[in-house]
Structure formats: C-alpha cells, structure tokens
Structure 1
Amino acid sequence: MSSLKTYSKFVKPYWKLVIVTLIIGMIKFAIPLTLPFIMKYVIDHILLGPLSLEEKMNGLIYVIGISFVVFVIIRFPIEYYRQYFAQLITSRVLYDMRNKLYTHIQKLSLRYYQNNKVGEVISRIMNDVEQSKSLVETGMMNIWLDIFSLTIALGFMLYMDPVLTLISIVILPFYGIAVNKLYKRLKSLTKSRSQALAEMQGYLHERVNGIPVTKSFTLEEFEEKQFDKKNSRFLNKAMAVTKWNALTNAIINTLTDIAPLLVIGSGGYMVLKGNITLGTLVAFFGYLDRIYNPLRRLVNSSTLLTQATASLDRVLELLEEPYDISDKPEAKSVNQLKGKIEFDRVWFQYDSKSPWALKNINLTISPGKTIALVGMSGGGKSSLVSLISRFYDIQKGAIKVDGIDIRDVRIKDLRSHIGMVLQDNILFSGTIRDNILLGNPECNEGEVISAAKAANAHEFIENLPNGYDTEIGEKGIKLSGGQKQRIAIARVFLKNPKILILDEATSALDLESEHLIQGALEKLKKDRTTIIVAHRLSTITSSDQIIFLTGGEIKEKGSHEELMNLNGGYARLYNIQNLNETNVKMLNP
C-alpha cells in the first residue's frame, strides 16, 4: 500500500485530467452497453411486435438512425480523447518519475556507485519505470471503468430478469479465488525477472565499456559464454512468468466459458416455458459478453498491475536510497573562499568493514600555497583529496575550509570553489565546446576560447575538422590522452575555483603532452590553493610543502630539500625514481 501511496504523489498533479478522462471513459463504455437493449427492443417490439410492416420499417429506420448518431458521430471523439488523455497522463507520470530518479541519483554518494552496477541503476530508471505505467492507465482508470461497465450491465440484466442474472454470475466467486491465489506468486516471479534483466544490463554495460580489454586478451568466446549465462538466467525467469501467466489465463478462460453455457441452457428453457421473451434472451446473451469481457480485462489488469507493482517496488527501492552525504538544515552558504584548508585529527574508512584509509591526519594548507601528496599506492593520497569535496564523510575529526567545518557548508557552495584535474578525466559525448562549458555553462564563446588558450588546447582544437564543434565521442574516445587532459584543464579554468586538486594529472602522458600540460597547470595554479597527488616526484619538487603518506598516515612533511636531508621514505622513493629516469635516458639518448 505504501508503494501505491508514493506512486499516487506522481499522479496527483494530474488529478483533474484523470477525472475528465474517467468521465469520458464512462461515456465510452456506456455507449456499447446500450446495444443488447437495442437488440431486445428491435426483436420484441419491432420484428415480433403487433405492428404493420410500414410501422416496423419506420421504427427500424428510426432506431438505426439514432444508433448511428450515437455509435459513429458521438463515439468517435469520445474514443479519441479517452485514448489521448490516458496516454498523456501516463507519459507525463513516467516523465516526472524519471526526472525525480535522475535528480535523486545525482545526490547519491560515490559509495553507492561503488557498491552498485551502473547498468542496474539504468535498468531501474528505464525498464522498471516503463513497466510501472500500467498503474496509471490500468489501475487508476481502466479498472474503475470496467467496474462501471460491469455494474451498468448487471443493472440492465437485473431489470430484465433477476433469476437469469443470478445464473449468469454464479461463477464470479471462483474468479476472486483464482485471482487471490495466482497473483501472489506472479508478483514474486516478476520481481525476479526484473532483477535478472537488471543484472544482464549491468554486465552488458561493463563489458561494452571494456571492449578494448576483451579484444586485447582475445576473450570474445569467453565473454560470449559469460553473457549467455546471464541471458539464460533472464530467459528462465521470463519463462517462469510466462508459464504462470499461461496457467492463469487457462483457468480464467475456462471459468468464463461456463457462464454462456449456463445462460443458453437456462434461458432457452425459460423462453420455451414463456417466462421470458426471445428478445430478452438475446439481450441477456449480449450483456453476458459485456460482463465477462470486463471480467477478463480485470483479470488481465491484475496481471499487469502485479507486474507493474513489482517494477514499482524496484523503482521505489532506488528512490528511497538514503543520501550518505547531505546538507545540514542549518548549513551555511559560502560565496567566497580564501582557500585555507585544515585537517584536524581526521580518521576515515570507506565502510565499517574496511580498514582505516586515513589515520589521525593533521595538516594545514595556507591560502594560495601548493602542497604535494606522495607515497606508494594505497597510502591514502586519493582518499585524502576526495574528502575535501565531501565525496565521503569522515568518521572522526574535522576538515575545515577558512575555519569552517565543511559539514557546516552547503555542498553545492563547497564544490563550486573546488576544481579537479584527474589522471583519467571523464569527457561526455558531444562537442568540445559542450565539454569545456561544463566548467561554467553560463560562459560565452570568448570565455570558452580564453580558457582553451590558457590550457594550451586552442591550437589543436582549431586544427580539428569542426573546431570547437567537433564531436569527441563517448568518453572523448576520438581524442588523445593529452588532448583530453587539456580540455579538462580548460574546463577548470572556466570554473575558476579557489581550491585546485591535481590527482596524478600528468602521470600517463608522453613527454610532449606533459610539457604542454605542465605549462597549463602552472598558469592554473597561480593564486590558488593547490593540492597535487603526484606519482612522478620530479614534477613536484618546487611545491611549498610535500606530504609523504604511508598506510594512511603522514610520515614526513616539509620542502623537497628538507625531506631529502631527512633521508627518509621520501628521499628513498625520489632516488629510486631519479635513478630509473636516468637509466631510461641513457638507454634512449
């Protein structure tokens, strides 16, 4: 019930249109209900009545003329608007649901996406939302219209003969028993099928993104077998639903076919005995169809609603996923920052079962200064910088910006002052201009070009076939690594943040690209508080302070010269890298 209550909130904005559609639907369903009564009148009063031939002809023409007006001229717009409004409401509700879900997933933390496959999230937003559409058109309209149609038909039948009416509906209780028993199982099967489909889509999403790996390891045949397992599981779940639907339809249709036999036998006997007229029997038989067609639709509606409710449950599971990171009610707005950052006895772990990623971190970064985080992989460098933007929340201690705990600042305001350039920056399909504008969508063409020039990207962009209008493909696949990095830097120039985070921004580039990007980064770092996560230590020797992390703890801090004189972990790592680079130069003079 709670699921339907939540769903009704999406329908509520359109309640006036729902009522209009229901009224139009009542007229639509009421018009055909007059047909058996017309047949009774024609048979009993015109064809078999004590009228002259001319009176019968005139009466027949009069009845058919009025019927044509009702069934053709009036019914056409009724049919059109009934269908149009029903689809309009359904489409708008699905539109609102998907928008709501998309807004919701934007607010979920990175932790959620680390624990859930992207393909499964997409499946819930697309497939499960689509499957839930029957709740509006069928559940909130058709069912009530079928009940209305059933009630009117029963009213006509009771008016003509109460005894034959009772005979006609004697099997109705069996419908209720069948629906009650069969559809509990159907909901469970449908939910399992949706989960199997989501798993297959999640797998497919990962593998499509990883096609280069599949090809490089010649795993095509292996991947085909793996996908076949997922596909087969979905097939089995789908066939279980199909079998249950087939069983349901077989039982319902068998029950339905009993009623006409009862009416023919009982009604024929009553006509022979003179208890009812032939027209009454014909009309009864016509109304029998008007009873059991809505009943069939109600049973089919039960099937659709059971499947739709199962999909709705999966949608609401996503919609009700709590936010790990959210604003406090009293969170402050921050329009300007100087850029001072403080880590005060910070402890952090990704979840309660994981070891501490950071332990008792105490660190102060003055405004406009550059610090570098170095150390072996897994030391906590990337974890530390991810906390500044509140991608995760810490368990102990405090992180402050300009003396304010970042948990007391609005997330949007905090992140608007932070720019990030990563080792593997994400670009979206679209043009180069579109991707640069992500830094600030309000900027004009001149500002975009200025940002590209500052990032040393303007020249290569201008040499592309369509310049700034060049389509770069998904994840910027049509660009080189260095080109993608420069667009990412241009994006940050356009954002103009006070705090800059460079997470191994040049570690995977060739020397020419690295030179161009280092030049762009030097301009970008000017007058900003900059935190560099460095893999190559030769690129950070001029930093104001270097922090050496091991096992989530700060082991050494100081300038390059100070740490070299200390002759500790940083000095050993630097000497090893320097020796390796010297050997490479000797081998490749």
Structure 2
Amino acid sequence: MNSVKSYSKFVKPYWKLVVITLIIGVIKFGIPLTLPLIMKYTVDSILLTKLSLGEKILKLTYIISIASVLFIIVRFPVEYYRQYFAQEITSRILYDIRDKLYNHLQKLSLRFYQNHKTGEIISRVMNDVEQTKNIVETGMMNIWLDIFTLTIALGFMFTLNVKLTFVAIANLPFYAISVKKLYKRLKLLTKQRSQSLADVQSYLHERVAGIPVVKSFTLEEYDQNQFDIRNSNFLTKALKVTQWNALTNSIINTLTDIAPLLVIAYGGYKVATGDLTIGTFVAFFGYLDRIYSPLRRLVNSSTLLTQATASLERVLELWDQPYDVQDQPTAKQLTEVNGDIKFNHVWFRYEKDSDYILKNIHFSIPSGRTVALVGMSGGGKSSLISLIPRFYNIDKGEITIDGMNIENITQQSLRKHIGMVLQDNILFSGTIRENILLGNPSASEEGMILSAKAANAHEFILNLPNGYDTEIGEKGVKLSGGQKQRVAIARVFLKNPQILILDEATSALDLESESLIQESLDKLAKNRTTIIIAHRLSTITHVDQIIFMKDGEIIEQGTHEELMNQKGYYEQLFNIQILNQNNDKQVVMDY
C-alpha cells in the first residue's frame, strides 16, 4: 500500500486528465451495455410480435439507426480519446519518474556506485519503471471501469430476473478465493524474475564494455558459458511466472465457463415453463458476457498489478537509497577561492566496520603552491584526493579551504572550483566539442578553442575528419590515450578552477604524449593550488612540497632536496626509479 501511495504522488499532477479519461471510459464501456437491451427489444417487441412485415422492418430500421449513431458515430471519438489520454498520462508519469530518479542517482555518493552494478541500476530505471505503468493504466483506470461495467450489468440482470442473476454469479466466491491464494505467490515470482533480468543486463553491460579483454584472452567460449548461466536463470524464473500465470488463467477460465452452463440450464427451464420470455433470456445471456468479460479483465488486472507492484518495490528500493554526502542546512556557497587547503588530523574509512584507509592526515597547502603525493600503491593517495571535492565524508578531523570547513560548503559550489585530471579520464559519446564544453557548457567557441590550444589538443583535433565535430565513440574509443588525455585537460582549462588535482595523469602514456601533456599540465597548474599524485618521481622534483604516504599515513614530507637528504623511503624509491630508467636506456642503446 505504501508503494502505491508513493506512486500516486506522480499521478497527482495529472488528476484532471485522469478524471476526464475515466468519464470518457464510462461512456466507452457503457455503450456496449445497451446491446443486450437492444436484443431483448428486437426479439420480444419486433420479431415475436404479430406485427406486419412492413411494421417489423420499420421498427427494426428505427432501432438499428439509433444503435448505429451510438456504436459508430459516438463510439469512434470516445474510443480514440480514451486510448490517447490513457497512454499520454502513463507516458508522462514514466517520464517524471525516470527524470526524478536520475536526479536522485546524481546525488548518491560514489560509495553507492562502488557497491552496485551499473547494469542493475539501469534495469531498475528502465525495465522496472516501465512495468509500473500498469499501476495507472490498469489499477487507476481499467479496474474502476470494469467495476462500473460489472455493477451496471448486474443491475440490469437483477432487473430482468433476480433468481437467474443469483444463479449466474453463484461461482463468484470461488473467484475471490482463487485470486487471494494465487497472487501472493505470483508477486514473489515476479520480483525474482526482475532481479534475474537485472543480473543478465549487468553482466551484459560489463562484458560489452570489456570486450577487448574477452577477445585478447580468447575468453569467448568461457564468457558465453557464463552468460548462459545467467540467461538460463532468467529463463527459469520467467517460466515459473509463466507457469503460475497459466495456472491462474486455467482456474479462472474454468470457473467462468461454469456460469453459462448454469444460466442455460436454469434459464432454459424458465423459458420452457413460460416464466421467462425468449427476449429476456437472450438479453440475460448477453449480460452474462458483460459481467464475466470485465471479471476476467479484473483477474488479469490483478496479475498485471501484482507484477507492476513488484517492479515498483524495486524502484522504491533504489529511491530509498540514502545520501551519504549531504549539504548541511546552513551550508554556504563558495564564491571566490584563494585555494588554501588544510587537512587537520583527518581519519577516513570506506565502511564503518572496516579499517581506516587514512590515519591522522595533517598538512596544509598554501594558495598557488603545488604538492605531490607519492608512495607505493595502496598508500591512500587516491582516497585522500577524493575527500577534497567531498566525494566521501570523513570520519574524524576536518578539511578546510580558505579556512572554511568543506562540510559547511555546498557540494556544487565546492566542486565548481576544483578541476580533476585522472589517469583514465572518462569521455562521453558525442563530439570533441561536446566533451570539451562539459568544462563550461556556456563557454564561447573562441574560449573552447583557446582551451584546446592550451592543452596541446587543437592541432590533432583539426587533423581529424570533422575537426571539433568528430564523433569519438563511447568513452572516446576512437581516440588514442594521449588524445583522450589532452581533450580531458582542455575540459579543465575551460572550467578554469582555482584548485587542480592531477591523479597520475601521464603514467600510462608514451614518452611523446607524456611530453605534450606534461607541458599542458604545467600551464594548467600555473597560479593554481595543485595536488599531484605522481608515479614517476622524476616529474615532480620541482614541486613546492612532496608527501610520501604509506599504509594511509604520512611518513615523510618536504622538498625533493630535503627528502633526498633524509635518506628515507622517498630517496630509496627515487634511486630505484632512476636506476631502472638508466637500465631501460641502456637496453635501447644496445638494441
């Protein structure tokens, strides 16, 4: 009930259109209810009377003319607008749900996305939301119209013959028992089917994205078997739902077929004894279909509603995901930024019951200075930089920008002043122009081109088939690693943030690309507060401060010269890298 109540919030803006549709529906369903009465009149008052042939034809023409106006001229527009308005309402509601659900997804923290598969999220937003349309079409419209039809038809039947009506509806209690017993199980089976479909979509999404790995490791056969396991599981769940639906329909249809037999037996007996006219019997039999057709639809509606409610519960499960990172009620907008950053005894862990990833981190970066974070993998460097734009909440301590605790700043205004260039930047399908403009969608053409030039990307872009309007494919697959990185840097140039975060932005590139990108990064870092996660220590010897991290703690801190003189972790790692570089050069020369 709570799930339907939540859904009704999306129906409320369209209540006037719902009412209009219901009124039109009443007319649409009411018109066929006149047909048995027309049959009764035709049989009793025309065909079985002693009127002359001419009088019978005249009366028949008269009644058919009236019926034609009703069934053709009136019913056509009624049928059209009933269908159109019903579809319009459901389409608009589904649009609103997906729109607000996407807005909700954007507010969820990175922790949520790390714990949930992309394919399953997509399945809930697309498939499950689509299934909920039956709550409106069926639950809020068709059911009421079928109840209206059923009520009016029963009213006419009681008017025609009370005893025969009770005979006709004698099996209705069995309907109620069957529905109650069958649909509780159906809801569970439907929810299981939806989950298994989400598993298939999730697996498919991951494998399509990682198809180069599948092919390079010749995993096609293995991967096909893994997909078959999930696909077979979905087939099993789907067949269980099908089996239960088939059982439901067979029981309901069997119960339905009993009623005409009872009516024919008892009604035929009454006609034979002269207690019932043939016209009344024919009309009554016509109304019999008018009560059991909506009754069948009501049973089918119960099936659809059960499935829709199960899907709605999955949508609401996603909707009820809490926001790990939220703006405080008193949070302020960050307008002008100098870029003074301070970590004040910060502790952080991803889960409440896990070990701390960062332990007592304490350092400061004056405005316009550059700090490099170095150390072995797993030291906590990437976790540290993810705290500055407040992708996660810290457990203890505080992080300040220009003396303001970032938890007292709105997330959006905070992130507007932070630019990030990562090792594997994400580009979106579309053109190069569209991807660069993500840095500032309102920027001018001139500003966009100047950003590309600053990132050393303008020249290679002009050599592409369509220049800035070249389609780059999903995740920029049509560009090289160096080209993707330069587009990502141009995006940050266009954003023009005061605080810059570079996470191993050149570690996966060849020397030529690294040289071009390093040049553009040096331009980008000028006069900005910059934090660099460095893989190659030779690229950060010029920075103002180097922080060596190990196991989530700051072990060493100082300039390149100071750390080399300490003869500690940094000096050892630096010398090892220099030795490896010299060996690589010697191998190349020998070759």
Distance, in Å, in 1 between the alignment partners of 2:422 and 2:317 is 32
Cross-structure match for 2:462: 462
User: Does 2:550 match 1:543?
Assistant: no
- How many corresponding residue pairs? 589
Distance, in Å, in 1 between the alignment partners of 2:56 and 2:10 is 56
Distance, in Å, in 2 between the alignment partners of 1:436 and 1:392 is 26
Cross-structure match for 2:437: 437
Secondary structure of the structure 1 residue equivalent to 2:472: coil
Write out per-residue CA displacement over residues 53-107 of structure 1, whole angstroms, 9 at most, x where no aligned residue.
2221111100000100000000000000000000000111111111111111111
Cross-structure match for 2:136: 136
How far off is 1:171 after superposition?
0.6
User: Does 2:112 match 1:107?
Assistant: no
How far off is 1:52 after superposition?
2.7
How far off is 1:275 after superposition?
1.1
Cross-structure match for 1:376: 376
RMSD of aligned alpha carbons? 0.6
Cross-structure match for 1:188: 188
Cross-structure match for 2:529: 529
Secondary structure of the structure 2 residue equivalent to 1:391: coil
Cross-structure match for 2:388: 388
The two structures have a TM-score, normalised by structure 2, of: 0.99
How far off is 1:276 after superposition?
1.1
Write out per-residue CA displacement over residues 121-180 of structure 1, whole angstroms, 9 at most, x where no aligned residue.
000001101111100100000000000000110111111111111111111111111000
Distance, in Å, in 1 between the alignment partners of 2:389 and 2:206 is 27
Taking only the aligned residue pairs, the percentage that are identical comes to: 70
How far off is 1:444 after superposition?
1.4
- The amino acid that maps onto 1:453 is K
Secondary structure of the structure 2 residue equivalent to 1:459: helix
Distance, in Å, in 2 between the alignment partners of 1:259 and 1:125 is 44
Cross-structure match for 1:268: 268
User: Does 2:329 match 1:329?
Assistant: yes
Any residues of structure 2 matched to 1:311-330 within 5 Å, and which?
A: 311-330=311-330
- The amino acid that maps onto 1:221 is E
Distance, in Å, in 1 between the alignment partners of 2:20 and 2:554 is 68
Secondary structure of the structure 2 residue equivalent to 1:262: helix
Distance, in Å, in 2 between the alignment partners of 1:298 and 1:51 is 43
User: Does 2:253 match 1:253?
Assistant: yes
Any residues of structure 2 matched to 1:370-519 within 5 Å, and which?
A: 370-519=370-519
Distance, in Å, in 2 between the alignment partners of 1:78 and 1:556 is 80
Cross-structure match for 1:68: 68
Distance, in Å, in 2 between the alignment partners of 1:91 and 1:275 is 53
Cross-structure match for 2:24: 24
- The amino acid that maps onto 1:277 is T
Cross-structure match for 1:345: 345
User: Does 2:366 match 1:366?
Assistant: yes
- The amino acid that maps onto 2:539 is T
Distance, in Å, in 1 between the alignment partners of 2:411 and 2:24 is 49
The two structures have a TM-score, normalised by structure 1, of: 0.99
Distance, in Å, in 1 between the alignment partners of 2:40 and 2:355 is 83
Distance, in Å, in 2 between the alignment partners of 1:396 and 1:50 is 100
Q: Structure 1, unaligned stretches of length 5 or more? A: none
User: Does 2:141 match 1:123?
Assistant: no
Secondary structure of the structure 2 residue equivalent to 1:397: strand
Distance, in Å, in 1 between the alignment partners of 2:425 and 2:102 is 22
Distance, in Å, in 2 between the alignment partners of 1:212 and 1:231 is 22
Write out per-residue CA displacement over residues 450-503 of structure 1, whole angstroms, 9 at most, x where no aligned residue.
000000000000000100000000000000000000000000000000100000
Distance, in Å, in 2 between the alignment partners of 1:468 and 1:570 is 43
Distance, in Å, in 2 between the alignment partners of 1:466 and 1:362 is 49
Cross-structure match for 1:33: 33
Structure 1 window deviating more from structure 2 (156-165 vs 26-35): it is 156-165
How far off is 1:343 after superposition?
0.5
Write out per-residue CA displacement over residues 390-430 of structure 1, whole angstroms, 9 at most, x where no aligned residue.
11111011011111111110000000000000000000000
Distance, in Å, in 1 between the alignment partners of 2:330 and 2:240 is 52
How far off is 1:273 after superposition?
1.1
